[in-house]
Amino acid sequence: MNKTVSKVFMAADHRGVGLKLYLIEMLSALGYNVVNLGVDDPNISVDYPDVATTLADAMKDVPDSRGIIICGTGAGVMIAANRYRHIRASRCDNPTQARDDRFHDDTNVLALAADDIDIEVAFLCAQTFLESPFDAIERRIRRVEKIS
């Protein structure tokens, strides 16, 4: 477990509820401080931009936090979350991608596609995302500062 992650904020639209609840259970069991931002009812339609706003607002004043956000495709929540200057979200389909996005781009939000990813692969992506460091060398810091 990465002790430098203070909180893990998790949010999903109605299509991502099942995956979100599974990941909350698994990550909590590993000792992460997971904050469920909703939604928790797959029968109530929620617009993914609203879910991204909720996550971005929660993360704004918690600098050592990370976020995991889920919708059907993963693309909608990623695009919506990236509107916020303090968010660097990437959609990942495998743990290697999650590790590389953290290492190279200091991503702080993992976007997952509930409709397209195996639940165990999603857990491995989340775990890798939370455990992977940013390679804080000068050129990478400079690049991240240009987008943040």
Q: Is 104 a catalytic residue?
A: yes
Q: Is 125 a catalytic residue?
A: no
Quick check: 130 pLDDT over 70? yes
Q: Which two tokens stand for residue 30?
A: 């590993």
pLDDT the model gives residue 141? 75
List the catalytic residue out of 14, 86, 92, 104.
104
Predicted confidence (pLDDT) per residue in 53-92, tens digit = 999 999 999 989 999 999 999 999 999 999 999 999 999 9
List the catalytic residue out of 14, 71, 92, 125.
71
Quick check: 136 pLDDT over 70? no
Quick check: 8 pLDDT over 90? yes
Q: Model pTM? A: 0.93
Q: What is the mean pLDDT of the chain?
A: 93
